A and B are shown apart, each in its own frame.
Chain A
């Protein structure tokens, strides 16, 4: 009741003020002054050069033109190899091939990203419009999309060959994402000193690590059973994706810091 009375009073007060303010005649505008101002603005407008703003998707598609065709060929070859393996290999061979290919998929994209970064020759005409962080972000997005498509292809082929989702997660997706995290960490750490050989070394190390882990898991049925739990695998996948996002942000921040002269 008290609140209602207060609101009513406020509304009345507001109406009174509105009436008081609106009762004033609107200030007249000198037509000549207005014409002069508009004329001046018209003259200024003639010097104006508006650059058309490209939609983000268009900018991303433009970036694909600067990427080496070798990238797409290697990605395609990897998918073909995996497809062939799904067709002719037995279950064990398929899983090993998946595990071996997982770190390699990342290498292809990251080598290409680092090429522009390391040589400081990110395409000049683009660098005039966007900063390096945006360029790197767009390229990471492109490779993210391509890798996702590869992953979709692998999933479809894997299901066709009778591979379980948990096996795909454990033998392919998680190793691939974790490998990408390691590459991104190394790229952020070494920046321009980062060489292709480092990436290759990291890939070999990651492959050996996965094979060793696989061996370890294979000899421990209890651990194998626990890891094969879909809930645990899903949690692991989520954690890996989170880590990947974090690594991407860290890498892009590093690029930005370098761009700003840090």
Chain B
């Protein structure tokens, strides 16, 4: 059953279908949080918080066939809150330098860890755009809706993110 159909029936009172809706999006949301935060425990917590938010605000959600974008927007906001609460400082360029210097250590890390490290080089806003574009294949227009910024900003964030990723990939080779 498609999301829009599920939501229509949930709104008509079949709230048990929320379980189906949540289960179908759980993995995607968990991975999104994980890529964003780089921390498994935090990703579990944020995924749970995202769905709790969804339950809380389901009443006010107006179906416009953009449920996925709506859900990822909540997840993005929850992750930002997590960053704020945990005062995680964006490492950015400093982290990039550290990673390159620790060349020998880098060779030991697994491939997925390497991707994760590469993502940590980006600022949180750039990471959002890169994750949504490359992992989830969202269109730029949809990313603009999720991140609540104009298309031009999404484009520039994607460009900056790609440049940083490229620099990281070249230095780590």
A residues with a Cβ closer than 8 A to B are 13-14, 16-18, 20-27, 29-30, 33-34, 37-38, 40-42, 44-45, 48, 50-53
Cβ 8 A contact of B31, one of A13, A26, A45: A26
8 Å CB contact of A37 from B44, B134, B162: B44
Query: Closest CB of chain A to B156's CB: distance in Å?
Result: 14
Per the bound structure, the CA–CA distance linking A37 and B30 in Å amounts to: 11
Q: Is the CB of A21 within 8 A of B134?
A: yes
Given contacts A27-B34, A41-B48, contact A50 B166 (CB under 8 A): no
- Considering the complex, give the chain A residue whose CB is closest to the CB of B163: A13
Residues of chain B within 8 A of A51, CB atoms compared: 59
With a cutoff of 8 Å between Cβ atoms, the chain A residues found around residue B116 in the complex are 24
Residues of A with C-beta under 8 A to B118: 20-21
Asked if B22 is at the interface (CB within 8 A of a chain A CB), the reply is: yes
- Smallest Cβ distance from A97 to chain B, in angstroms? 47
A33's partner among B44, B134, B165 (CB-CB below 8 A) is B44
Interface size class of B (residues with CB under 8 A): 35 or more
A29 to chain B, nearest CB (A): 6
Q: Given A21-B134, A33-B44, A48-B58: A38 and B169 within 8 A (CB)?
A: no
Q: Which of B13-21, B74-82, B84-92, B141-149 contacts A (4 or more CB under 8 A)?
A: B13-21
CA distance A74 to B115 in the complex (A): 75
Given the contacts A17-B134, A53-B11, A24 and B51 also touching, CB distance less than 8 Å: no
Q: How far is the CB of B158 from chain A (nearest CB, A)?
A: 9
CB proximity of B169 to chain A, nearest CB, Å: 6
How many angstroms between the C-alpha atoms of A24 and B35 in the bound complex?
11
Asked whether, in the complex, the Cβ of A23 is within 8 Å of the Cβ of B115, the reply is: yes
Q: Is the CB of A52 within 8 A of B40?
A: no
Report yes or no: B48 in contact with A37, Cβ–Cβ below 8 A. Answer: yes
The docked-state distance in angstroms from the alpha carbon of A13 to that of B167 is 11
Please name the 5 residue pairs, one residue from A and one from B, whose CB atoms are nearest each other, closest first.
A24-B115, A24-B112, A37-B48, A21-B134, A25-B112
A44 contacts across to B, CB distance below 8 A: 52, 55
A25–B111 Cα distance when bound, in Å, is: 7
Can you sample 5 A-B contacts with CB below 8 Å?
Answer: A17-B130, A21-B130, A21-B135, A24-B111, A38-B23
Residue in contact with B169 in the complex, picked from A17, A27, A45, A50, CB distance below 8 Å? A17
**Given the known A-B contacts A22-B134, A50-B13, are A16 and B166 also in contact in the complex, defined by CB atoms under 8 Å?**
yes
Q: How far is the CA of A95 from the CA of B12 in the complex (A)?
A: 53
A41 touches B15 (CB 8 A): no
Tell me, rounded to whole Å, the shortest Cβ–Cβ distance linking A27 to chain B.
5
Q: By the criterion CB–CB under 8 Å, are A53 and B134 in contact?
A: no
User: In the complex the two chains form, is B15's CB within 8 Å of A27's CB?
Assistant: no
On whether the beta carbons of A13 and B162 are closer than 8 Å, the reply is yes
- Across the interface, which residues of A come within 8 angstroms of B34, CB to CB? 27
For A26, list chain B residues within 8 Å (CB): 31, 112
A27 touches B31 (CB 8 A): yes
B13 proximity list for chain A (CB < 8 A): 50, 52
Taking A26-B31, A50-B10 as known contacts, 5 extra A-B pairs with beta carbons closer than 8 A to each other, sorted by chain A number, are A21-B118, A24-B111, A24-B115, A37-B44, A41-B55
Q: Which residues of B (46-85) have their CB < 8 Å from a CB of A?
A: 47-48, 51-52, 55, 58-59, 62
- Residues of B contacting A27 in the complex (Cβ-Cβ under 8 angstroms): 30-31, 34-35, 40, 43, 112
* B27 at interface, CB cutoff 8 A: yes
CB pair B62–A37 under 8 Å, yes or no, is: no
Q: Which of B11, B16, B48, B110 is close to A40, meaning CB atoms less than 8 Å apart?
A: B48
* Residue contact A13 to B166, C-beta cutoff 8 Å: yes
Q: For the complex, is B3 an interface residue (Cβ under 8 Å from A)?
A: no
The answer on a CB contact under 8 Å between B18 and A45 is yes
